[in-house]
Chain A
Amino acid sequence: MTALLLAALLGTRGDDPSEALGRVLARLRERAARSVVAVEVERSDDPEGGGFQGQVSAHRDYYNRPRGPVSGVIYGPDGHILTSFFNVSGRIRPGGLRVFLPDGTSRPARLLGSDERRDLALLKIEARDLPTLPKAAPGEAAPGAFVALVGRSPDPRVPTINLGIVSAVERMGGTALQTDVETNYGNAGGALVTLKGRLAGVACHVHPESPWGQSGGVGFACKVAEIDRVLERLKRGERIEAEKVPFLGILPGGGDPDAPGLQVGLVVPGSPAEKAGLREGDVLVGIDGAEVADFEDFRGALLSKKVGQEVVLRVRRPRDRARKEYEELRLRAVLEGRPGE
């Protein structure tokens, strides 16, 4: 018995160590892929014939979408499937959603709920006892931790795996991890797992307008804790829309680098800033309790507020610019949503 065990042990250890990573990834792919599905999406506005003949601009939305099936993650044994909201957004033909399970079978799915800000969608299929992935503990997917993205695209029968690390842990307002795993239209919606096969998040935020494009080494995954925060709402069928970004309506001006504050270069006509009485040349030094020393402070302070909220702008208005004499003002502004949103 001892000799047998020794032999078995040597058998694993005696191999070329450079093969270790390959074997780890092969096993990880096999394990994680049991809970990763492919989702086929047919949209009602697919142009007829599918040809290009001058139709690309008319059907931009269609052509800018992933071709073929996309990836999804089993998130409940009773048939709950998560994917990226972008994957299933747009007008879908009745009966146009289909989930391909790892066992090769497929079944129709319906869209239960979605969250635009987290770029998540919850689908439901009729199934029982589906295998789910264990969840990563808080702190397990820390910066530098190895993570792999497992998807099922373009062939639902063949799971894919891409390796990378966690680049940052507080992105998209804290809802997403950033990773350098190559993320694209195919594996977006798939499972981002740790080396031990625990689910860290669902890959998302890859869309035609994303400045980071596809596979550029900047990808994202909605964290499991954030998924759990909205899961019940999604199950109830909520369509959670992206929160409106608060808007004040100023552009920064030149300013004096040695005097703290944000100099107002332009006040947008009709904006909350104008209504509050803010003028070009004013120096904004605070919003409510927060100090504003530069544009980034301003942006940070503004983004911590909500549309419709009243804020106090602390402003220094030049009385005599040459003598650096200022009048201290407190102006009240009601924040609005960005125009056109």
Chain B
Amino acid sequence: MTAVLLWALAQDPDLEAVLEFERRVRACAEKVRPAFVFYGQGSGVVISPDGWVLTNYHVAGNRRGQRVRLAGGRPFTADAVGWDVHGDISLCRLREAKDLPFCELGDSDALRVGQAVLAVGNPFMLGNRNWEPSICLGVISARHRYMDNPGYFDAIQTDAPINPGNSGGPLVTLDGKIAGINGRIDVRRFASRVNTGIGYAVPANQIRRYLEAFKAGGRVREGCIVGLTVGEAGDPRLEGSGAYGDGVLVAAVTEGTPAARAGFEPGDLIVEVEGLRTPNLNRFHGAVGNWPQGETVRVRVRRGGGEQELRVLLGDPAWIRERQMNLLPADLGFLPAGEDDADGVRVRSVAGEGPAEKAGMKAGDLIRAAGGTALRGWEDLREILSRLRPGEELRLVVSREGKELDLVLRAAPR
């Protein structure tokens, strides 16, 4: 007994506790380093064995055919597939990739201030000779940091040293999961660009909500509610708006916009977007920007003593349609207008010498039926068009100046 106690006393329990922490950091480093990508002047991280890579838009942009390297030096060619210019994320794909080491996206809403994190990156491009990434330890300093221009609306702040070259690299929790993508720092003098203990990462949960849109390809824009004029509760210019922190006050709703269609009314107090509380304008924009345009989100409002849940389409419908048209498999040569006609789809413009023009379509036409199916709006037409392959034909019924016309649209052969 005495011997056992003597042995126990000889151990240093303080040191053991710290060594246990060290073991976790080392294990995490071992896990995440192989999934690191040297991406041009910046960093990136593999998120799937078949080569999907996350980085910053300001690192990868929308470029195709970039030579990148996995930690250790294995070269790949990367193509940017989807990107968010304001939110500063590009999703890229490595060509001919399989069975790659990767990091999973974690749950950034579950992060705690003070929690230990590692920033993996290539600061000052120090690893460009032997392709060894760098890891730095820090903590979560704050969550939900709001920055306009560009829109880091819901950033994680960390004191894990982030320096030039770290951009696009992952901020990981000690279980090896991605908390966010590091992208910005605050420095006293921009010219020096050396970390001062203030770095920002785009949160994993926001990225996850954009992933599907990124994979579909092209530019993805951050969500906004078109048609709302909002103010902050407690703003002295808004009489009787309550106290600061209560929520975001709807001052006006523009007719014919997604906000009006969703049923917002002046005087509504917005308190939650998809379960995220919106105590002020920054958090409101941050929460809405957590989803890409084209998504429909649930918004809780206080109205007349009660609460209501509204569902609203994020973004400008015209832009969303344009994007969806661009992503259709076949080239059709026309763009739908933004307005939502209950009895068809209005044509905004027809491209010169394209398939739609050859079929006789004109701007202003209302497409009422396609392939024998009557249309109740854009979603119906999109469904039909998405099945159309290059070279195939589609019969359309359009109304023009009170007359009904039959058109045969032949999708351009590839």
Give me the interface of A with B, judged by CB distance under 8 Å: 1-2, 5-6, 8-9, 12-13, 17, 19-21, 23-24, 142-146, 164-165, 167-171, 173-174, 178, 180, 195-196, 211-214, 216-218, 257-258, 293-294, 296, 299-300, 303
Which chain B residue lies CB-closest to A164? B137
Which chain A residue lies CB-closest to B27? A144
Pick 27 A–B contacts, CB within 8 A, sort by A: A1-B2, A8-B9, A13-B13, A20-B15, A20-B17, A21-B17, A21-B18, A143-B29, A143-B33, A165-B25, A165-B137, A167-B135, A168-B127, A168-B133, A178-B134, A180-B138, A180-B160, A195-B18, A211-B194, A213-B192, A214-B194, A216-B194, A217-B160, A217-B195, A218-B134, A257-B65, A257-B67
Q: Contacts A21-B18, A144-B26 known; A167 to B134 CB distance under 8 Å? A: yes
Q: Contacts A144-B25, A217-B161 known; A178 to B126 CB distance under 8 Å? A: yes
Q: Contacts A5-B6, A143-B33 known; A212 to B124 CB distance under 8 Å? A: yes
Chain A residues positioned under 8 Å from B138 (CB to CB):
180
B22 contacts A by Cβ under 8 Å: yes
Cβ contact within 8 Å between B9 and A180: no
Cβ contact within 8 Å between A296 and B128: yes
Chain A residues positioned under 8 Å from B65 (CB to CB):
257-258
Q: Give the contacts of B150-180 with A (CB-CB under 8 A).
A: 160-164
Q: Give the contacts of B365-395 with A (CB-CB under 8 A).
A: none
Which one of B6, B15, B27, B66 has the highest number of Cβ atoms from chain A below 10 Å of its Cβ? B15
Chain B residues positioned under 8 Å from A24 (CB to CB):
12, 14-15, 18
Roughly how many angstroms separate A216 CA and B121 CA in the complex, as a whole number? 14
Cβ contact within 8 Å between A20 and B9: no
Chain B residues positioned under 8 Å from A19 (CB to CB):
14
Q: Knowing that A145-B22, A146-B21 touch, tell me 13 more A-B residue pairs with CB under 8 angstroms.
A: A5-B6, A19-B14, A21-B17, A164-B137, A165-B136, A167-B135, A168-B134, A180-B138, A180-B160, A218-B195, A257-B77, A294-B67, A300-B129
Chain B residues positioned under 8 Å from A211 (CB to CB):
124, 164, 194
Chain B residues positioned under 8 Å from A2 (CB to CB):
1-2, 5
Which chain A residue lies CB-closest to B28? A144
Chain B residues positioned under 8 Å from A13 (CB to CB):
13
Shortest CB–CB separation between residue A305 and chain B, in angstroms? 13
Roughly how many angstroms separate A167 CA and B195 CA in the complex, as a whole number? 15
Cβ contact within 8 Å between B126 and A195: no
Chain B residues positioned under 8 Å from A195 (CB to CB):
15, 18-19, 22
Roughly how many angstroms separate A279 CA and B11 CA in the complex, as a whole number? 68
Q: Contacts A17-B17, A20-B17, A143-B33 known; A217 to B5 CB distance under 8 Å? A: no
Chain A residues positioned under 8 Å from B149 (CB to CB):
none
- 10 nearest A-B residue pairs (beta carbon): A217-B161, A144-B29, A257-B65, A216-B194, A144-B26, A213-B194, A180-B136, A20-B14, A5-B5, A167-B134
Chain A residues positioned under 8 Å from B6 (CB to CB):
5
Which chain B residue lies CB-closest to A171? B126
Which chain B residue lies CB-closest to A256? B65
**What is the 8 Å Cβ interface bit string for chain B, positions 187-220, against chain A (1 contact, 0 not)?**
0000010111100000000000000000000000
B30 contacts A by Cβ under 8 Å: yes
Chain B residues positioned under 8 Å from A171 (CB to CB):
126, 132
Roughly how many angstroms separate A257 CA and B30 CA in the complex, as a whole number? 33
Q: Contacts A144-B29, A168-B127, A180-B161 known; A217 to B17 CB distance under 8 Å? A: no
Chain B residues positioned under 8 Å from A167 (CB to CB):
134-136
Roughly how many angstroms separate A212 CA and B125 CA in the complex, as a whole number? 11
B75 contacts A by Cβ under 8 Å: yes
Chain A residues positioned under 8 Å from B194 (CB to CB):
211-214, 216
Roughly how many angstroms separate A13 CA and B197 CA in the complex, as a whole number? 33
Shortest CB–CB separation between residue B94 and chain A, in angstroms? 14
Shortest CB–CB separation between residue B412 and chain A, in angstroms? 25
A145: contacting residue among B1, B26, B33, CB under 8 A: B26
Chain A residues positioned under 8 Å from B160 (CB to CB):
180, 217
Chain B residues positioned under 8 Å from A164 (CB to CB):
136-137
Cβ contact within 8 Å between B163 and A216: yes
Roughly how many angstroms separate A296 CA and B75 CA in the complex, as a whole number? 10
Chain A residues positioned under 8 Å from B197 (CB to CB):
217
Chain B residues positioned under 8 Å from A174 (CB to CB):
130
Cβ contact within 8 Å between B2 and A5: yes
Roughly how many angstroms separate A99 CA and B162 CA in the complex, as a whole number? 36
B279 contacts A by Cβ under 8 Å: no
Cβ contact within 8 Å between B135 and A144: yes
Roughly how many angstroms separate A257 CA and B135 CA in the complex, as a whole number? 31
Roughly how many angstroms separate A174 CA and B132 CA in the complex, as a whole number? 11
Roughly how many angstroms separate A167 CA and B136 CA in the complex, as a whole number? 6
Cβ contact within 8 Å between B126 and A218: yes
Roughly how many angstroms separate A5 CA and B133 CA in the complex, as a whole number? 47
B123 contacts A by Cβ under 8 Å: yes
Roughly how many angstroms separate A213 CA and B132 CA in the complex, as a whole number? 21
Q: Contacts A9-B5, A164-B137 known; A170 to B132 CB distance under 8 Å? A: yes
Chain A residues positioned under 8 Å from B195 (CB to CB):
216-218
Cβ contact within 8 Å between A180 and B137: yes
Shortest CB–CB separation between residue B40 and chain A, in angstroms? 10
Q: Contacts A144-B29, A217-B163 known; A168 to B135 CB distance under 8 Å? A: yes
Chain B residues positioned under 8 Å from A258 (CB to CB):
65
B69 contacts A by Cβ under 8 Å: yes
Chain A residues positioned under 8 Å from B135 (CB to CB):
143-144, 165, 167-168
Roughly how many angstroms separate A90 CA and B314 CA in the complex, as a whole number? 63
Roughly how many angstroms separate A9 CA and B192 CA in the complex, as a whole number? 51
B8 contacts A by Cβ under 8 Å: yes
Chain A residues positioned under 8 Å from B134 (CB to CB):
167-168, 178, 218
A170: contacting residue among B25, B130, B164, CB under 8 A: B130
Shortest CB–CB separation between residue A53 and chain B, in angstroms? 25
Q: Contacts A168-B133, A212-B123 known; A296 to B69 CB distance under 8 Å? A: yes
Roughly how many angstroms separate A293 CA and B65 CA in the complex, as a whole number? 13
Shortest CB–CB separation between residue A113 and chain B, in angstroms? 27
Cβ contact within 8 Å between A5 and B9: yes
Cβ contact within 8 Å between B9 and A218: no
Roughly how many angstroms separate A19 CA and B17 CA in the complex, as a whole number? 10
Shortest CB–CB separation between residue B319 and chain A, in angstroms? 30
Shortest CB–CB separation between residue B223 and chain A, in angstroms? 34
Cβ contact within 8 Å between B13 and A293: no
Which chain A residue lies CB-closest to B128? A296
Roughly how many angstroms separate A21 CA and B12 CA in the complex, as a whole number? 12
Roughly how many angstroms separate A148 CA and B69 CA in the complex, as a whole number? 32
Roughly how many angstroms separate A173 CA and B29 CA in the complex, as a whole number? 22
Shortest CB–CB separation between residue A213 and chain B, in angstroms? 4
Which one of B8, B129, B195 has the highest number of Cβ atoms from chain A below 10 Å of its Cβ? B129
Roughly how many angstroms separate A171 CA and B126 CA in the complex, as a whole number? 7
